[in-house]
């Protein structure tokens, strides 16, 4: 099963890409704590302190201003890829999660729906932060 969501963020590719690799920026719209930036070969920890959860993220590939590919959730791993494409209005960001596993089709579907909602909120939060400097707290407030 695959999750695929995208949004245009009205900022240059370099700025949008940095927002996803630099935890000083990413913590403004997604997770609350990170052990470091996304760099090729790194393994970092992300935490959502408001929920008391976290995960390990193994960085598989980073092509500056183009792509980030990670594997996360070591107990039930899946691959997430962000692509950053110049767009006439800024940057088109696409997030794709694949290799979604589960014991049942209902379990896979629930994971996919949760990921789709989560990544859509992340993109909307990134857009608000980068375009307007507003922290919407979408991830913290969802549910």
Fold of 3-141: Alpha-D-Glucose-1,6-Bisphosphate; Chain A, domain 4 (3.30.530)
**Interval 41-64: pLDDT, tens:** 999 999 999 999 999 999 999 999
pLDDT of residue 104: 74
* 131 phi/psi in degrees, rounded to 5: -85, -30
Q: What is the mean pLDDT of residues 28-53?
A: 96
Q: Are 122 and 15 in contact (CB under 8 A)?
A: no
| 88-130 pLDDT per residue, tens | 999 999 999 998 777 778 878 888 888 899 999 999 999 999 9
Q: What is the pLDDT of residues 6-22, one digit of tens each?
A: 999 999 999 999 999 99
In the chain, where the domains are located: 3-141
The pLDDT value given to residue 97? 92
User: What is the DSSP secondary structure assignment for residue 115, as one 8-state letter?
Assistant: H
Among 64, 59, 63, 61, smallest CA distance to 46 is for 59
Average pLDDT, the chain: 94
User: Would you say residue 143 has pLDDT above 70?
Assistant: no
- H/E stretch holding 31: none
Q: Quick one: CA dihedral 19, 11, 128, 115, positive or negative?
A: negative
pLDDT at 30 > cutoff 80: yes
């Amino acid at each position: 099963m695959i999750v695929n969501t995208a949004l245009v963020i009205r900022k240059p590719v370099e700025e949008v890409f940095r927002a996803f690799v630099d935890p000083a920026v990413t913590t403004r719209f997604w997770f609350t704590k990170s052990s470091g930036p996304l760099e090729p070969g790194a393994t970092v920890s992300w935490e959502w302190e408001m929920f008391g959860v976290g995960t390990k993220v193994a960085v598989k590939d980073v092509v500056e201003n183009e792509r980030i590919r990670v594997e996360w959730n070591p107990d039930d791993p899946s691959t997430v890829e962000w692509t950053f494409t110049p767009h006439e209005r800024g940057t088109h960001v696409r997030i794709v999660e694949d290799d979604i596993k589960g014991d049942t089709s209902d379990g896979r579907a629930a994971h996919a729906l949760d990921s789709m909602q989560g990544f859509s909120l992340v993109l909307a939060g990134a857009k608000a932060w980068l375009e307007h400097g507003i922290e919407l707290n979408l991830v913290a407030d969802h549910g």
